[in-house]
């Protein structure tokens, strides 16, 4: 339901969408393409699971990645900006975080950042999700779609 609402909101504004995913591994795009007519809005997605891919494909500053690690709010924003630019979309959405079972880059399991960048706004949200890998990943997908819906519905 959330994916359909997002696609409707973006389509109503004439906006296209691109997605950069790390811990969700393509699950955000999977939710979106399950909606009939998604191709009218969704340009595509990049699964940047490896930290090096965040830099080489999405253009995330390597010094930022070295200094803070991949699980960081500024990295999430840079991923969203990068996929937006790369796929020539109006809106970029990104996910990065730790699904477990071990901490990463000093971030505890369940630490997730989702980001959305539109033509007029950029926003990132930090989450602390509980559960196993599947539950954390599912929560990240839901949160990414929710944040994008909020910004798509914002008239500014």
pLDDT tens digits for range 111-129:
999 999 999 999 999 999 9
Q: How far apart are CA 58 and CA 20, in angstroms?
A: 8
Please report, for the chain, the start and end positions of each structural domain, with discontinuous segments joined by +.
Answer: 2-153
Look at the alpha carbons of 135, 76, 48, 1 in this order and tell me if their dihedral is positive or negative.
positive
Q: What is the mean pLDDT of residues 121-142?
A: 98
Q: Write down the pLDDT at residue 48.
A: 99
Q: What is the pLDDT of residues 27-78, one digit of tens each?
A: 999 999 999 999 999 999 999 999 999 999 999 999 999 999 999 999 999 9
Instruction: Supply the pLDDT for residue 1.
Output: 61
How confident is the model at residue 105, as a pLDDT?
A: 86
Give the model's pLDDT for residue 149. Answer: 97
Phi/psi at 106 (5° precision): 80, 0
DSSP code, position 44 = E
Closest CA to 84 of 42, 39, 33: 42
List the CATH code of the domain at 2-153: 3.90.950.20
User: 156 pLDDT exceeds 90?
Assistant: no
Q: How far is the CA of 53 from the CAs of 2, 13, 38, 70, 132, in angstroms?
A: 28, 31, 26, 11, 25
What's the CA gap between 128 and 119, in Å, rounded?
Answer: 28
Q: How confident is the model at residue 94 (pLDDT cuts 50, 70, 90)?
A: very high
- Per the prediction, the chain carries an average pLDDT of 97
Q: Is the pLDDT of residue 151 over 90?
A: yes
User: Which tokens belong to 133?
Assistant: 């890998």
Furthest-apart CA atoms within the chain: distance in Å: 42
Counting residues of the chain whose pLDDT is more than 90, the rounded percentage is: 96
Cα–Cα distance measured from residue 18 to residue 24, given in angstroms and rounded to the nearest whole number? 14
Q: What is the model's pTM?
A: 0.97
């Amino acid at each position: 339901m959330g994916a359909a609402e997002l696609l409707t909101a973006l389509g109503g504004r004439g906006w296209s969408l691109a997605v950069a995913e790390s811990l969700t591994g393509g699950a955000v795009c999977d939710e979106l393409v399950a909606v009939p007519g998604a191709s009218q809005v969704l340009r595509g997605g990049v699964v940047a699971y490896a930290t090096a891919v965040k830099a080489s494909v999405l253009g995330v500053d390597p010094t930022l990645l070295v200094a803070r690690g991949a699980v960081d709010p500024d990295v999430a924003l840079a991923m969203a900006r990068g996929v937006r630019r790369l796929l020539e979309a109006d809106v970029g959405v990104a996910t990065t975080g730790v699904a477990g079972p071990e901490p990463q880059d000093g971030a505890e399991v369940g630490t997730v950042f989702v980001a959305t960048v539109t033509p007029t706004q950029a926003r990132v949200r930090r989450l602390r999700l509980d559960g196993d890998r599947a539950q954390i990943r599912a929560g990240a997908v839901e949160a990414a779609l929710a944040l994008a819906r909020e910004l798509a519905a914002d008239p500014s």
